[in-house]
A and B are shown apart, each in its own frame.
Chain A
Amino acid sequence: MKKLFAIIKREYLQRVRTKFFVIMTVLGPLMLVVFTVVPGLLLGVKTSDTRIAVVDQTEGTKLSGPVRNSLLKRESDDENDNEPNLADAANSNTKGRMEKAGKSLNGSFKVEQVNPGQRSLEEIKHELNARIGRGDLDGYLVIPPDILSNSDSKTFYYGRNVGDVITRGQIEDRLNSAVRRERLIQQGVKDEEVDALSKPVDVATYPINEKGEEGAEDSGAGFAMVFIIAFLIYITVLLYGQVVLGAIVEEKETRIAEILFSSVRPFQIMFGKLIGVSLMALTQLLIWGAAFAAIALYVVPTMAARGFEDINLPHLPPFFFVYFFLFFALGYFIYATIYVLVGSMVTNTQEGGQMAMPVVFMLMAGLYMAFPVIRAPNSSFAFWVSLVPFFSPITMMVRIISQTPPFWQIATALVIGFVTVVLLLWLAARIYRIGMLMYGKRATIPEVVRWVKQS
Chain B
Amino acid sequence: MNTRPTVSIDHISKTFGEFTAVSDLSLAVYPGRVFGLLGPNGAGKTTTIRMIVNITAPDSGRIEMFGQQITPELQDRIGYLPEERGLYKKMKVGDQLKFFAALKNVEAKVADKRVDSWLTRLKLSEWKSKKATELSKGMQQKVQFISAIIHEPELLILDEPFSGLDPVNVEVLKEIILELKADGKTIIFSTHQMEVAEKICDDICLIDRSRKVLEGSIREVKRAFSRNAVALRLVGGDSILEDRALVTKVLRHSDGVEVLLAENVSPQELLKELIAHGAMIERFEMIEPSLHDIFIEKVTENV
Interface residues of A (CB under 8 A from B): 2-3, 6-7, 10, 14, 18, 250, 254-256, 258-265, 437, 439, 450
User: In the docked arrangement, what's the CA distance between A1 and B99, Å?
Assistant: 15
8 nearest A-B residue pairs (beta carbon): A255-B86, A262-B80, A6-B102, A263-B103, A258-B82, A254-B86, A262-B53, A261-B55
Contact A263 B55 (CB under 8 A): no
Q: Which residues of B contact A450 (CB under 8 A)?
A: 17
Q: List 15 A-B contacts (CB under 8 A).
A: A6-B103, A10-B99, A14-B90, A14-B91, A255-B86, A258-B80, A259-B82, A259-B85, A259-B147, A261-B55, A262-B53, A262-B75, A262-B82, A263-B103, A265-B72
Contact B87 A439 (CB under 8 A): no
Instruction: Using A254-B89, A258-B80, A265-B72 as known contacts, list a sample of 16 further A-B pairs with CB atoms less than 8 Å apart, ordered by residue number in A.
Output: A2-B105, A6-B103, A7-B103, A14-B91, A254-B86, A254-B87, A254-B88, A255-B84, A256-B88, A258-B84, A259-B85, A259-B147, A262-B54, A262-B80, A263-B76, A437-B50
Contact A263 B88 (CB under 8 A): no
User: In the docked arrangement, what's the CA distance between A261 and B55, Å?
Assistant: 6
Smallest beta-carbon distance A241→chain B, Å: 21
Is the CB of B66 closer than 8 A to any CB of chain A? no
Q: Which residues of A contact B95 (CB under 8 A)?
A: 10
Question: Knowing A259-B82, A262-B80, A263-B75 touch, does A2 contact B102 (C-beta < 8 A)?
Answer: yes
Q: Which of A254, A258, A260, A264 has the most C-beta atoms of chain B within 10 angstroms of its own C-beta? A: A258
Is the CB of B104 closer than 8 A to any CB of chain A? yes
User: Which of A255, A264, A439 contacts B103 (CB under 8 A)?
Assistant: A264
Is the CB of B78 closer than 8 A to any CB of chain A? yes
Question: Knowing A2-B102, A6-B103, A450-B17 touch, does A262 contact B88 (C-beta < 8 A)?
Answer: no
Q: Which residues of B contact A7 (CB under 8 A)?
A: 103
Q: Which residues of A contact B85 (CB under 8 A)?
A: 255-256, 258-259
Q: Which residue of A lies closest to B148 (CB)?
A: A259
Q: Which residues of B contact A254 (CB under 8 A)?
A: 86-89
User: Which of B54, B81, B105 contacts A3 (CB under 8 A)?
Assistant: B105
Is the CB of B127 closer than 8 A to any CB of chain A? no
Question: Knowing A258-B55, A263-B100 touch, does A250 contact B88 (C-beta < 8 A)?
Answer: yes
Contact A3 B103 (CB under 8 A): yes
Contact B55 A259 (CB under 8 A): no
Return the CB mask of B21-55 against A: 1 if under 8 Å, else 0: 00000000000000000000000000000100111
Q: Which residues of A contact B53 (CB under 8 A)?
A: 261-262
Smallest beta-carbon distance A11→chain B, Å: 10
Interface of A is mostly: helix
User: In the docked arrangement, what's the CA distance between A10 and B54, Å?
Assistant: 24
Q: Which residues of A contact B105 (CB under 8 A)?
A: 2-3
Number of interface residues of B (CB under 8 A): 30
Smallest beta-carbon distance A109→chain B, Å: 59
User: In the docked arrangement, what's the CA distance between A255 and B76, Å?
Assistant: 20
Q: Which residues of A contact B91 (CB under 8 A)?
A: 10, 14
Q: Which residues of A contact B144 (CB under 8 A)?
A: 259
Q: Which residues of B contact A258 (CB under 8 A)?
A: 50, 55, 80, 82, 84-85
User: In the docked arrangement, what's the CA distance between A3 and B73, Å?
Assistant: 12
Smallest beta-carbon distance B148→chain A, Å: 8
Smallest beta-carbon distance B126→chain A, Å: 21
Smallest beta-carbon distance B142→chain A, Å: 15
Q: Which residues of B contact A260 (CB under 8 A)?
A: 103
Q: Which of B17, B78, B80, B86 has the most C-beta atoms of chain A within 10 angstroms of its own C-beta? A: B86
Question: Knowing A14-B88, A254-B87, A256-B85 touch, does A262 contact B55 (C-beta < 8 A)?
Answer: yes
Q: Which residues of B contact A6 (CB under 8 A)?
A: 99, 102-103
Q: Which residues of B contact A261 (CB under 8 A)?
A: 53, 55
Within 3-20 of B, Cβ neighbours of A (below 8 Å) are at 17
Contact A262 B72 (CB under 8 A): no
Q: Which residues of B contact A262 (CB under 8 A)?
A: 53-55, 75, 78, 80, 82
Smallest beta-carbon distance A332→chain B, Å: 25
User: In the docked arrangement, what's the CA distance between A263 and B78, Å?
Assistant: 8
Smallest beta-carbon distance B6→chain A, Å: 16
Contact B88 A439 (CB under 8 A): no
User: In the docked arrangement, what's the CA distance between A264 and B52, Å?
Assistant: 14
Contact A256 B86 (CB under 8 A): yes
Q: Which of B54, B99, B103, B104 has the most C-beta atoms of chain A within 10 angstroms of its own C-beta? A: B103
Smallest beta-carbon distance A86→chain B, Å: 43
Q: Which residues of B contact A14 (CB under 8 A)?
A: 88, 90-91
User: In the docked arrangement, what's the CA distance between A255 and B99, Å?
Assistant: 16
Contact A259 B80 (CB under 8 A): yes
User: In the docked arrangement, what's the CA distance between A3 and B104, Å?
Assistant: 8
User: In the docked arrangement, what's the CA distance between A259 and B53, Å?
Assistant: 10
User: In the docked arrangement, what's the CA distance between A273 and B124, Å?
Assistant: 29
Smallest beta-carbon distance B106→chain A, Å: 10
Q: Which residues of A contact B99 (CB under 8 A)?
A: 6, 10
User: In the docked arrangement, what's the CA distance between A259 and B100, Å?
Assistant: 9
User: In the docked arrangement, what's the CA distance between A259 and B54, Å?
Assistant: 12
Q: Which residues of B contact A256 (CB under 8 A)?
A: 85-88
User: In the docked arrangement, what's the CA distance between A18 and B91, Å?
Assistant: 10
User: In the docked arrangement, what's the CA distance between A37 and B50, Å?
Assistant: 58
User: In the docked arrangement, what's the CA distance between A260 and B100, Å?
Assistant: 8
Smallest beta-carbon distance A23→chain B, Å: 15
Return the CB mask of B84-118 against A: 1 if under 8 Å, else 0: 11111111000100011011110000000000000
Contact A3 B147 (CB under 8 A): no
Q: Which residues of B contact A265 (CB under 8 A)?
A: 72
Smallest beta-carbon distance A173→chain B, Å: 58
Contact A3 B86 (CB under 8 A): no
Smallest beta-carbon distance B96→chain A, Å: 9
Smallest beta-carbon distance B113→chain A, Å: 18
User: Which of A18, A263, A437 contacts B90 (CB under 8 A)?
Assistant: A18
User: In the docked arrangement, what's the CA distance between A382 and B227, Å?
Assistant: 85
Q: Which residues of A contact B76 (CB under 8 A)?
A: 263
Q: Which residues of A contact B80 (CB under 8 A)?
A: 258-259, 262
Smallest beta-carbon distance B186→chain A, Å: 16
Q: Which of A2, A7, A14, A263 has the most C-beta atoms of chain B within 10 angstroms of its own C-beta? A: A263
Within 214-262 of B, Cβ neighbours of A (below 8 Å) are at none
Q: Which residue of B lies closest to A258 (CB)?
A: B82
Q: Which residue of B lies closest to A13 (CB)?
A: B95
Q: Which residue of A lies closest to B52 (CB)?
A: A262
Smallest beta-carbon distance A275→chain B, Å: 16
User: In the docked arrangement, what's the CA distance between A170 and B50, Å?
Assistant: 76
Q: Which residues of A contact B103 (CB under 8 A)?
A: 3, 6-7, 260, 263-264
Q: Which residues of B contact A250 (CB under 8 A)?
A: 88
Smallest beta-carbon distance A277→chain B, Å: 15
